[in-house]
Each structure stands twice: as structure tokens, then as C-alpha cells.
Structure 1
Amino acid sequence: MSKALGTLGVPIGVVGIILLLIVPVPTWMLDILIIVNILFTLVVLLTAMFVKRPLDFSVFPSLLLVATLFRLGLNVASTRLVLGEAHAGQVIQAFGQIAVGGSLVIGAVVFLILVVIQFVVVTKGAERVAEVGARFTLDAMPGKQMAIDADLNAGLITEEQARARRAEVAAEADFYGAMDGASKFVKGDAIAGAIIIVINVVGGIAIGMLQRGMEVGEAVNTYSLLTIGDGLVTQIPALLMAVSTGMIVTRSNAESDLGSSTSSQLSQSRTALLIAGAASVVLGFIPGMPILAFLVVGALLILVAQRIKAAEKAKQELEEAAAGTEVARQPDSTEDLLEQMRVNALEVQLAPDLIDLVSGSADDLLARVRGLRRRIALDYGFVVPPVRTRDSLDLPPSTYVIRVAGIETGRGIAPPGRVLALGDDLGGLPGAVTVEPVFGLPGKWVPAEMRHSAELTGATVIDRGSVVVTHLSSVIVSNAARLLSREDVRVLTESLKSVNPSAVEELVPNLLTLADVQRVLQGLLEEKVPINDLARIYEALTLRAKASHDPEGLIEAARQALGPVIVSRHVDDNVLRVLMIDPGLEQNMLESMRPSELGSQIVLDANRLDALLTSVRNTVDAAAERGLSPVLVCAPALRPAIRRLVAPQRDGLPVLSYSEVTSAQVAIETVGVIRALDPIPA
């Protein structure tokens, strides 16, 4: 109900404002609307004071337009009543009689002062600040985008964080651009209010004298007081909205609201408060000055300065004690420093409330990680580095983080006392909705005691430890190339030498160094090709290395030797489903091949490159809609370049060569053809 009210509230209000401009309203309703207007602008002003960033009140420009339209609608409604009935409700009457003492001169002066304050001071300043803020924000936008890209490329932030920062930069530019235009509403509102007052005074006096038979003085007194009361009723909310506008556009990003920031920053200089207090005391002794008031204010300032001194001293003592404790706690030996400096190849950090996952039982997280290392070693042929598991007070509750070489690579949650239910019919189960971190499946963290109930709904139920280990397995496989170190290659080579010395002695170090072999093995692991059959890989490298040491050629030679193994990982029911490349397009790509430092590249103009990637994307999506997971097959000379081309677009699309496919005894089914497209118009 509340959500529907929030969705429909503003549209209904705008329709009501339009009706207010057309349909006469009774005086009691006008009183209510005027009170709503005053309180609404007061809420907007207080909200502007308590937000920490301007973007936290991003709806303000649109709200300003609606509020301005609302005030103008009230002006029209009150004008209709003032001129038609010489009465516009109790609120306007009270402002005309009580707020200005029933004096026409006082009312006119007060109204003019409000107009001057709003139009000359607040509105003019807010308009200028909004204009400059919009200009500076737009000018700084490219630099901010480049800084985000630089942090992303350096690995300081994740792709999700980069997207969030880009969205914030765009939202900031949109906000200040909108505020630049919205400030014109405030200026126009002030001008319109003054013009309406003049029209009401002149029109009211004319109607009183010509239609109601009033004397000149009576007409002037009646209509002028009503008009000034009407002007004050609308100008005070307009002034509050103008102040809100200025407060929003002058508000910088802060860690606290305006009140907290003001008090902390005004009290940061004890000397300034002492000088101000002493000056207040001295001014009190000037003849004719109210000495008591000056002495009270000065004494308060000096008292606040003394309290600041005591707080600073206590803070300094706490910092010194904390620093001493830290120094005493942290050893300064070289071995300890080296241990703290060491970057772990694999690390799992757990929030304090997840320590129960490392319970020491047979099926705890540590035991499962040991099993995972064994399985990956058997599946991919390399030993996963030891996984360091530790707690971190910096993590939010129920959160775990997976780090590779000190960089966060995966993050998820595993709430205590919960199990993860995956399925389509989870609406009847209690728990927090989530997304499974590896496959992106929708799920819910349901209470562990409801595991059986979740299974009855057809959901797949996974315990917390399995969620963490599955995520860790995905991260390890995706980063296998980074995890394979030079020392790992040396150990693998020595192990192979003990059972097949000829395969090793002919290759290392006579033809290739360990660094060259490491590069080849990393290239295989990067495409999830297992390196279990190390003897066959070394034999293929030996033959290739006698002709060339080109890394790309070495990797392709190793893949050729492992062709049946590579194909077997993509076979379904002894059928390999493939995507082919149109022969004309393939020939064109072969002619466009160029060598580079990073390997062979397909050099195409931007439009044809976009057309090619679009064709790949459309063909893969069409196969996926049929429930198929095909591989892309191409000429051996093209395979590395095409893989390098489509990997950023389709990381899950394997690229195989004709020679690799034909080396395996499987049936081949073509499920799509990537055709040459006309270039996309620029």
C-alpha cells in the first residue's frame, strides 16, 4: 500500500495542482493547502541540511519544479478568493492582521524585504553556484572516468565498483545540470510573486471601489492587507525553498550531515574561540553597550574552548597508548617483517561470524579445501598453492573474500545457521534472496532447520561450506595461469624427469628455458586445457622448438598434441557441436592477419570488427536458446587470433582448430555459421 502511494502520490499531486489553477476552491481547503505548502518546504529544507551528499537528494530539481508549480497554483486560488470574495481564509487573514500588526506600511516593508532577500541574495547566489557547479562537473567528467579506468586496470577496484563509480559520476553530472536549470525556477518564482502582488493590489482596489462601493481608504486597507498576507504566505515557503536550493548546490560530499560538520569544524580551532570570547568581553565595556549580554556570550565561548582543550588532551593520550600497544604487539624482527610482507598466492578471508566454518571436523572448510586441491591437481595437472584461511574484522557480517596474489577476486556471503536453496519456486520459503556467485542462479538463504521443506519444493539445497568451496574452485580454475609459478614448473619438470628423462633432457634447458615452458603451460591453463599429460606436451614442444621459439606457435603445437583431450571436454553424447566460419570471411581474416608483440592479430576496420563480433554474439545466442553449448572451429593459423578477439566478448566460448577437432574420433554437428556481415554504418 505504501509503495503504491509513493508511486502515485506525485502524479496525483500534479493533477491536483492543475485542477487548482482551474477550479475554485473553498477557503477551508485553501487554508489546508497553504499549511501543507509551508510544512512541505520546511521538510525539504531540513532534508537538505541532513543529507551528506547532494546526490543523496537527487530528486530535488524535480521536487523544486513541483513545489514552484504548487505555490503558483496557490497564488491563483488565493487571488480568485481575494478579488472575488474579499476573504481568502484564516491563514491569509492571520498573516495580514497578526504577522504585520494590521499595518499596511509594515506589511509592505516586510514583504519587500523578503523579496529582496530571496531574489537578490539567495536566488542569485544559488543560481550562480549551480551554473558554476554544472560547468565544473561536466569539465571534470572525462578526468574522473579516466581515473576510474586507471584504478580498474591497476586492479585497485573491481568491475562492479567501476560500474558503480561511473554511474555516480554520470548521476553527479546530471544532477548539477538539472540544478542549473532548476535554479531558474526559483528566480522566476520570486519575480512572479512580486508581479502577482501588484496585480492583486491594483485589481482589488478597483473591484472594491467600482463593484462593492467601498471608499478609497477602506478598499486600500481591505485588499492591501489581504494581498500582503497572501504574499507573505507564499513568499515564506518560496524563501525556504530558495535557501534549500542554495544549501544543496553549495553542499560538498561529507561523512556527516550539515549540523555535525558545522559543529566539528567550527570547534576545530581552540585559539579562534578564545580570541572571540576575549573580544566579546572587551566589547561589553564600551560605554552604552549591554555589558551583561557580552559577558555571557564571551564566557560561553571561553568555556567551549576549555572543553575542546580537555578533549584534545584525552584524544592525544588515547592515541599514544594505542601506538604504544601496537608497537609492543608487533615484533620488529626481519623474519616477522618478511612474513608480513609476503603475498599469499591464494587466501580466503572470513568475517568473524564465519569462523565456525573452520571447525576442525572431517568435513569443515579446511578439509574440503584439501580435497579441492587434490581434485584440481588430478583434473588440470598442476598443484594448487596452499590456501591460507584467516578471519578479517574489516569484512561485513557473513561475508567471505577470495584473494589471488593479494587481489580480491571473489566475494560472497554464507550466513550462519542457513543453507542455500536454489530453484524457481522459492516464494514460500523464508530467507534473504541472493544470487549464487558462480553460476548466477537465483536462490535464498533459508534457515538450516527448513532444509527438508526446501527440498520438498524441488529446490537444490547447498550447505555454506560447499558454497565457499565451489566459489573457490571457480576462482582457481579461472586464475590457474596466474597461480602456476616458475617453481611449480620446475617441480613438475623434475617429477617428469624421474620417469621420462629423455622428454625433459632434450627440451630443458637445451631448447627452452623454464620460463619458456612456464609461458606455454600458462597459455594452456588460460583456456582451461589440462596439462596432466606433461610428457606429450614436452615432446610436442621439442619438435616445435627446433624450428621456432615463438610462444604462440609453441602453445599451438602443445594443443595439437592434446587435441583429443581438448575435444573430449566439449563432447555431449559423443557429438561435438560446432560453429563454423563462412569460408569467404575466413579467407578475408587470414589475409588480415598481422604479427604483433602480443601474438598474431586480425586487423580489421572498426565497422567490420563490430559486424564480426555481432555475428559471433548472435550465432552463440541462437545456439544457447536451443540449449546447446557449441565450440567455435577455425583454421589453425587463425585460432590464437580469433580466441584473442572473442575472449573479451564471449569468455565461455571455446575456440578450437580444425586439426584439433579432426584428431578426435567424434561426430561433428554444425549448429551455426558465422557469416561475413556488411559493415555497421558509422
Structure 2
Amino acid sequence: MTPGLNLRNAGRFAGAAALPAGMLILVALMVIPVSPLILDISFVANIMISLLILMVALQASKPLDFSAFPTVLLLATLFRLALNVASTRVVLVHGHEGTASAGHVIEAFGQVLIGGDYVVGLFVFVVLMIINLVVITKGAGRVSEVSARFTLDALPGKQMAIDADLNAGLLTPDEAKARRQEVATEADFYGSMDGASKFVKGDAVAGLLILFVNIVGGLILGIFSHGLSFSEAGSTYVTLAIGDALVAQIPALLLSIAAAAIVTRVNSPLDLSGQIGSQFASPTIWMAVSGILFILGMVPAMPQMLILPASAIAGVIGWQLRRAAADQAAAPEPAAPAADPHHIDWADVSDASACQLEIGYALVALVDDRKGAPLMTRATGIRRQLSKELGFVVPPVKVSDDLSLPGNVYRISVAGVIVGEDEVFPNEMLALDSGDLVAKVTGRPCKDPTFGLDALWIPKAAQNDAIAAGYTVVDPATVVATHLNNSIIASAAELFGIDDAQALIDNLKLHYPQLAQNLSPQGYALPRVAALCKALLIERVPLRDFRKIAEAMVALAAQQLGDGDLIEAVRQRIGALIVQTIVPSRMPLPVVTFSPEIEVLLNQAVRANPGAEWPFEHGMAMKIVEQIGQAVEPLLLSTRSFALVASPICRPALSRLVRATFPDVAVISYLEIPANKQTEIVATIGAEVPRLGAAEDAQTKDEYHEN
């Protein structure tokens, strides 16, 4: 074992043993008689500990920075009470020997601080008791009680706010866990402080009772046991009792001040002195104080030699603060260090932004804050909405200008790949042909960047005329935002990675810990979970209800399925989720089906090339795509929701084939449709397909007859 490790272990052992040893010392002070020297050392240690606690309380930026204060306050109070017991024993046993018999600390407090007059000392002690018990302790106790009540009442709301921020993607699971821990610690702290304030109040009352016991007991013992006169016994024992009470009461006053400072603190990045100094640093208030004091000093019979200098001091402070503020405002900002032309950073060769929107110089007005930044506002709303729809946090969209682009051109990139590019005119409006026009308007012909519809760029002044003619008119920011929205949806799988899969699992752990434990890593490795989620996103299946997806994966874990089979099996188990993304739950599902002959050919092609990415013969694939287009294009133009239904055998390959031409068409299998879901056949694909090769044709006919 290394020496460093030995020292570290020894330090941990010493720290763990310090508290039990300290408690034993407290008990020993209460039970075992101690010498005046040990009593003096303990009194000095008590004063030092009280000062240390007060300094820590004053330096804390917020109450939780000294979260151990309630426990420390309890231990310090017990230490002081143990000293009271030990000093009472010494005073009563050896008090007849003189004021030095109880140690030099008690003698010093009894002689120096009160001048040897025990009557004066008695009044000084009473004044300290009033300050501590009636003012500081009572106020701190009330603040602790109110703070504890308000903190506990606000606890459910804070927890709900953290959950809302987590669901909105504003917090990571680790940040949410830390926030929950902080809220719980805050509630525990204020609840403990409510009880700890009672320690301070009880300590003050105990000090008063101990003084009474020392005075009465000392007079009785001095007169009846040691033969002292009443005057001699009063002078000796009352002086010692008051000195002992003051020695204990001053640390108690320090702890009361520390407790009051802690419970009255407001969260701030500054400590107490810095916070007070920053709030008293206004030159205006110092000038006002100086003026008022000057007017007061001019009143006859006022002590002008005191008030007028105070007015001058306040005026000088205000003038200095105003001068410092002016110098700070006029001081130039420090220049950034010149970049080393030979230094190459990672930022020069890579960009961490997964989504980028690059704009030409003529489109800068769309992101200008002084003009409302309409495009930035829409981009933020799109990201928030898509995060809810897709089921994971969509990364921020980085908007930047690119001088290499033409002025009116914008470019959308996802994961480094350009997925959209077009041009808009910031001072014009886009009029979309709705197909039901009552008149024509003049403008610059173009195609809608998102849907490819016929459109015109028209002047803003012609907007009302275009609307009256039946056009749908949108502004340039909406055109870009809509294109961005569809581009992110189409590329959602490219934005999803292993870190996002881990975030889904971490969120699952918060609400369904056993399910998350069986999902990963016991059931599936994290890369496989991410791959399945990406496969679902490619086919536009959202991850909103990840719990249902995780339950399906856990239920299928024992079957040891391959990746492709696992995806299909999971889809079948979450079929209700897939179908509800196509049509609402109360509406029948419109479906486009294949004739039995076509479906047999599709199945046979897949069986003939098991595991192939593109199992269909080229001519057959082209004919199938053509016939699908003839069937679905009217439905797409009418914006009607539907699904292309095929057998589970050919669904994956058919989906890849259809997605290349019709990315918005959902391809599902019969097994993915819930048993209680009504369907409506809106089209059937059954036209003749191209002939296959002779051998393949014979095999296909045989298998067709077998089926």
C-alpha cells in the first residue's frame, strides 16, 4: 500500500473518530471534576469556536452553503452547557478560596469586564440576556418558523417545476437530480433551523437559571460550610457566578447572531459583507444623507462639531462612489488577446451544431433582434414543438450568415448534410396556388420549397388582392420555418444518437426504474437501443411513449431476435401508437392494399433474397413504384391521411422502396393494425407487373399456386 493511501486512510479515520471523541469529552466535563487550567482552556476554545461559526455564517452566499449549521449549533450549545456544569462545580467547591480559584478566565470576566462590582455585573448580564433572549433569539426563531413553513408549502410546486423543465428538455436528468436534491436539502435545512432556534432560546434561559443556582448555592455554602460572612460570601461567589455567566453568555450571543444571520440571508452570489456593500454603494443615497445631516447641523443647539463632520464624511463617500462609477463607465473594455495565426483549434475544423441554417446577406433582417427576429422566434417554437412530437430533445438550430451564398438563398443542414436549399425574398410575400382560384395575380413564378406547390412571389402591397383571389399568402420567415420544420422531421433519425438514447433511459429510470433496469444494459446494449430508435424515426414513428417501446423490447429479449426481426416485432407490439400517428383514434384507418397476385410476387421476391436490402428485381420495382404512385398521388394531393398495408414478410423492403419516392407514405403490416381498429380500403394496387426471368417466373408460378 502506498504512503499517500495510508495518509488518506489515516485522515479519514481521524475525521470519523473526532466527533465521538468530542462527545465523550462533553460527557467528561459534565461528570468528572476538572482543574481550573483545563477550564480556562475550554472557555477559550468555546469563544474561538463561536467566533469561527459566526465568521462562516457571515461569509456564506446562501443558507445552504452552511447546511451543517443546525448540527453545529447543537454541538456548540452542548459544549457550552458542559462548561457551565464544570464551572459551577469549581465555583461551588473552591469559591471560598478567592476569585482566582475558578481559573483566570472567570476571574478576568468578573474583575476586568465589570470592574469588580458584582452589582454592575449583574445588571450587565441582565442586559445581555434581554438582548439575546428577547431580541435576537426571538426574532431568529420567528424567521426560522416562517421560512420552514413557506419552504415546505412550496416543495410540491418546486418538484413539479423541475419535472416540467425536464420534460421540456431545459434540464438534463443529472441536472434535474441535482435540483431535486437541492430542494430536498433546503426543506430539511429550514426544518432543522426551526428546531435549532429553540436550542438558542433554551440556552439563554439555562444561563439565567445557572446564574441563579451559582449565586444561591454559593451564598449557602460560603455562609454555612465555610464560615464566611454574608458580605464576604456575596462578594466572592456572586462575582464568580457573574463572571462564569458572562463567559458563557458572550459565546451564546455570538451563536445567536450567527443563527439570525443564516436564517435572514437571501440567496446571492456575494457573501453578506459583499451583498451589503453592493447595496450601499449608490452615491445618491450618500449625498442625500450628507444633505440631511448638514441641514440638521445648522439647527441651533445641535452639536455642530459632530454632525457637520459626519455630513462631510458622507458627502466625500458619495463623491468618491460617483467618481468611481464614472471612471468604470468610461474605461474601455479590455481588448481580446490577438489570435495566434499559427494556432488551429477544433472549432476551426468541426462544428458541434447538428442543425444549421445558413442565410445570405439579404436575409439577415429575418434574424435581426432590432426587427423582432421573426425567424429566430419561429425556429425556437419549431424546436420545442418537434421535441414534444418526436419524443427526444431536438438540438438547437444554429443560424449564421454565409457570404458565399447568394443574397436571398438559405441552406438547411442536418448532421453536416445539406437537406434543403432555396431562396426567399424578405420584402415580398409567397402566394401559394390553392387549386381553387377565382382570379390570377401577377408575380414571380416559383415552387414552394417545402411541398413543391406552384406559387408566386408578390409585393406586400398585393397581399390582400391575392387572398381575395384564393391564394394562400405566407411571409418569408414562415416559408423558411416551414421548410426547416419538414427538414428536421425528415432527418430526425440523423439527429438521434447514443446520448439521446441514454437520456431516454435515464428519464425512464425516474418513473419506471425496474423497466429501465431490465432494458439496458441487462436486456440490450445501449447502441442497439439507439439503433432501434433510429429505425423507428426513419419511418417517422415518434418516441413519445418510450415506455411502450421499452416494454416491447423487454418482452422480446428472451427470443434473441436479429436487428431486423426485432424492429418488426416491436412495431407489431406498438401498432396502436403507429396507427394513431396516421389518423385519430375515433376515425377508421384509410388503407391502400395490394391485390393477392402482387402481394405473392412481393413475398416471393423477399424469400428469394432473404436479408437483401433491395430484394426486388429492378423492372419489377419500377413498375411497383409507378402503380403505387398512381394510387396514392390523388390521396396526397387531397392531403388525406392513409397507410399502405402489406404483409409482414415484405413490409421492411417495401417501405425502403416506397420511402425513396414517397417519403410521407406510411407502410405498415397487417399485424400492426389493432384488432379493434376499423379500416377503410381507399385503393387497391393490382395492375400487371413486368415478367421475371424464365427460372424466376416458373418458381414464382409454383409458389403462387402453392399459396
The interval holding the TM-score normalised by the smaller chain is 0.5 to 0.7
- How far did residue 559 of structure 1 move? 7.7
| Residue in structure 1 matching 2:67, options 40, 52, 58 | 58
2:493–2:534 Cα contact (<8 Å) kept: no
| Residue in structure 2 matching 1:183, options 197, 204, 207 | 197
Partner Cα separation in structure 2 for residue 102 and residue 164 of structure 1: 57
- 1:34 pairs with 2:80: no
Partner Cα separation in structure 2 for residue 300 and residue 292 of structure 1: 13
Partner Cα separation in structure 2 for residue 594 and residue 533 of structure 1: 24
2:132 aligns with: 118
| Residue in structure 2 matching 1:199, options 213, 226, 238 | 213
Report the AA paired with residue 81 of structure 1: V
Report the AA paired with residue 46 of structure 1: M
- 1:477-496 equivalent positions in 2, closer than 5 A: 478=533
Partner Cα separation in structure 1 for residue 28 and residue 194 of structure 2: 29
2:80 aligns with: 71
Alpha carbons of structure 1 residues 387 and 235: separation in structure 2 relative to 1, 3 Å: same
Partner Cα separation in structure 2 for residue 123 and residue 163 of structure 1: 36
2:408 aligns with: none
1:261 aligns with: 275
- How far did residue 516 of structure 1 move? 9.6
1:673 aligns with: none
- The two structures, once aligned, show a CA RMSD in angstroms of 4.9
Partner Cα separation in structure 2 for residue 243 and residue 189 of structure 1: 14
1:223 aligns with: 237
1:496–1:504 Cα contact (<8 Å) kept: no
1:347–1:402 Cα contact (<8 Å) kept: no
Partner Cα separation in structure 1 for residue 308 and residue 285 of structure 2: 17
Alpha carbons of structure 1 residues 370 and 153: separation in structure 2 relative to 1, 3 Å: closer
Please give the per-residue CA displacement for 1:293-330, whole angstroms capped at 9, x wherever unaligned: 433332232222223323444555579999xxxxxxx9
| Residue in structure 2 matching 1:303, options 293, 296, 316 | 316
1:282 aligns with: 295
| Residue in structure 1 matching 2:162, options 140, 144, 148 | 148
- 1:105 pairs with 2:224: no
2:61 alignment partner, SS class: coil
- How far did residue 252 of structure 1 move? 1.7
- How far did residue 370 of structure 1 move? 8.3
- How far did residue 498 of structure 1 move? 9.6
Alpha carbons of structure 1 residues 555 and 265: separation in structure 2 relative to 1, 3 Å: farther
Greater mean alpha carbon deviation, residues 161-170 or residues 274-283: 274-283
| Residue in structure 2 matching 1:535, options 650, 654, 679 | 654
Please give the per-residue CA displacement for 1:315-373, whole angstroms capped at 9, x wherever unaligned: 55579999xxxxxxx99852474598468976899xxxxxxxxxxxxxxxxxxx989x9
Alpha carbons of structure 1 residues 286 and 383: separation in structure 2 relative to 1, 3 Å: closer
- How far did residue 104 of structure 1 move? 1.1
- 1:504 pairs with 2:625: yes
Partner Cα separation in structure 1 for residue 175 and residue 15 of structure 2: 30
1:485–1:518 Cα contact (<8 Å) kept: no
Partner Cα separation in structure 2 for residue 139 and residue 106 of structure 1: 48
Report the AA paired with residue 12 of structure 1: A
1:348–1:402 Cα contact (<8 Å) kept: no
Alpha carbons of structure 1 residues 30 and 140: separation in structure 2 relative to 1, 3 Å: same
2:288 alignment partner, SS class: helix
| Residue in structure 1 matching 2:27, options 18, 27, 36 | 18
Identity of aligned residues (%): 38
2:51 alignment partner, SS class: helix
Partner Cα separation in structure 2 for residue 81 and residue 144 of structure 1: 54
Alpha carbons of structure 1 residues 155 and 507: separation in structure 2 relative to 1, 3 Å: farther
Please give the per-residue CA displacement for 1:110-141, whole angstroms capped at 9, x wherever unaligned: 10111000000001011111111111111111
2:493–2:537 Cα contact (<8 Å) kept: no
Partner Cα separation in structure 1 for residue 75 and residue 301 of structure 2: 51
1:306 alignment partner, SS class: helix
| Residue in structure 2 matching 1:49, options 51, 55, 58 | 58
Report the AA paired with residue 63 of structure 1: V
- 1:516-595 equivalent positions in 2, closer than 5 A: 533-535=652-654, 555=668, 557=670
Partner Cα separation in structure 2 for residue 233 and residue 155 of structure 1: 57
- How far did residue 193 of structure 1 move? 0.5
- How far did residue 287 of structure 1 move? 4.8
- 1:95 pairs with 2:109: yes
Alpha carbons of structure 1 residues 506 and 209: separation in structure 2 relative to 1, 3 Å: farther
- 1:162-173 equivalent positions in 2, closer than 5 A: 162-173=176-187
Partner Cα separation in structure 2 for residue 440 and residue 51 of structure 1: 43
- 1:428-447 equivalent positions in 2, closer than 5 A: none
Report the AA paired with residue 334 of structure 1: L
Partner Cα separation in structure 2 for residue 5 and residue 151 of structure 1: 43
| Residue in structure 2 matching 1:139, options 150, 153, 173 | 153
- How far did residue 158 of structure 1 move? 1.4
Alpha carbons of structure 1 residues 513 and 76: separation in structure 2 relative to 1, 3 Å: farther
Partner Cα separation in structure 2 for residue 162 and residue 496 of structure 1: 53
2:227 alignment partner, SS class: coil
1:500–1:535 Cα contact (<8 Å) kept: no
Report the AA paired with residue 195 of structure 1: L
Alpha carbons of structure 1 residues 75 and 403: separation in structure 2 relative to 1, 3 Å: same
2:102 alignment partner, SS class: coil
Report the AA paired with residue 231 of structure 2: G
- 1:462-477 equivalent positions in 2, closer than 5 A: none
Greater mean alpha carbon deviation, residues 41-50 or residues 309-318: 309-318
1:410–1:475 Cα contact (<8 Å) kept: no
**Paired positions, count:** 438
1:211 aligns with: 225
TM-score normalised to structure 2 length: 0.53
2:285 aligns with: 272
Alpha carbons of structure 1 residues 274 and 502: separation in structure 2 relative to 1, 3 Å: same
- How far did residue 239 of structure 1 move? 0.8
Partner Cα separation in structure 2 for residue 32 and residue 310 of structure 1: 51
Report the AA paired with residue 501 of structure 1: M
Alpha carbons of structure 1 residues 513 and 321: separation in structure 2 relative to 1, 3 Å: farther
2:70–2:193 Cα contact (<8 Å) kept: yes
Query: What are structure 1's unaligned runs of at least 5 residues?
Result: 323-329, 350-368, 374-381, 389-400, 412-438, 442-469, 487-491, 522-528, 561-589, 597-682
Alpha carbons of structure 1 residues 199 and 497: separation in structure 2 relative to 1, 3 Å: farther
Alpha carbons of structure 1 residues 332 and 272: separation in structure 2 relative to 1, 3 Å: farther
Alpha carbons of structure 1 residues 538 and 483: separation in structure 2 relative to 1, 3 Å: closer
2:147–2:190 Cα contact (<8 Å) kept: yes
2:631 alignment partner, SS class: coil
Partner Cα separation in structure 2 for residue 239 and residue 403 of structure 1: 54
Report the AA paired with residue 23 of structure 1: I
Report the AA paired with residue 105 of structure 2: V
| Residue in structure 2 matching 1:83, options 81, 92, 113 | 92
Report the AA paired with residue 240 of structure 1: L
1:334 aligns with: 363
2:51–2:254 Cα contact (<8 Å) kept: yes
- How far did residue 152 of structure 1 move? 1.3
1:48–1:247 Cα contact (<8 Å) kept: yes
Report the AA paired with residue 111 of structure 1: F
